Every structure is written in structure tokens, then in C-alpha cells.
Copies of this chain bind each other. A is one copy, B any other.
Amino acid sequence: MKDSNRDVTMAERDQLVLRRTLDIICGKWRLFILLNLGEHTRRYGELRRMMPDVSEKVLIQELKSLISLGVLEKESFSEVPPRVEYRLTTKGRGILPHLNSLHLIGAPFMED
């Protein structure tokens, strides 16, 4: 009984962890933001130019979300015109090694 109860709560915890993963990588652009940042620090406009197909609003919105998830951090400089830099947090950089697995998941399903 004790064990099966613990199993249930572990399964639930696993669900939450997986949902958190989905929060981080799902969405049309999140993964590409992570890839384009990598180990670099980049300005907003620089990211914008690297991803010409995402709208400004959505890019900013996604950057905000990733910041509030703890994946990214941003630094604003009091200059005119404004300068804002984005980079992965330490935890965020921990995601990078796993992106290869994501590649391996989709690869076999390409020729359909």
C-alpha cells in the first residue's frame, strides 16, 4: 500500500516534470530561440534577424515566458537607442546537451 501510494505520487511528479519540459520546448519558436542563443549573449534585434519568420510580438512574448521559466535571463542597458541582451541561465544551458535526443526522436519520421 505504502509503495503503491508512493508510485502514484511519483507518477504524478513525473507528469509534472514532463509538462514542465513541454512548457520549455513546445511552441513554434521556443526551441529555435534556445538553439540560436546557445552559449551566446545576443541582442533582441540580433535574434529577430536570425528568426525572420517570427513576429516581434511573439518573439518578445516567448522571451518573456522563457525568462519566467528560468531558462533565460536578460540585461537592459540604459542607452538610446535601447540595448537589451538575452542569454541562457546556467540551468538553461543544461538543456543544450539534450537537444540531440530531440533530434533523434523526429529523425526516423521524416520520410512520410
Contacts and interface: CB of A to CB of B under 8 A. Distances in A.
Contact of A17 (B18, B23, B107, B112): B107
Nearest to A101: B101
Pick from A16, A20, A95 the residue with the most CB of B within 10 Å.
A20
Copies of this chain in its oligomeric complex: 2
A20 B106 contact: yes
B110 A20 contact: yes
B71 A109 contact: yes
Given A21-B103, A23-B106, 5 more contacts: A18-B102, A22-B31, A71-B109, A91-B108, A98-B105
Interface of A: 14-26, 31-32, 69-71, 91, 94-95, 98, 101-110, 112
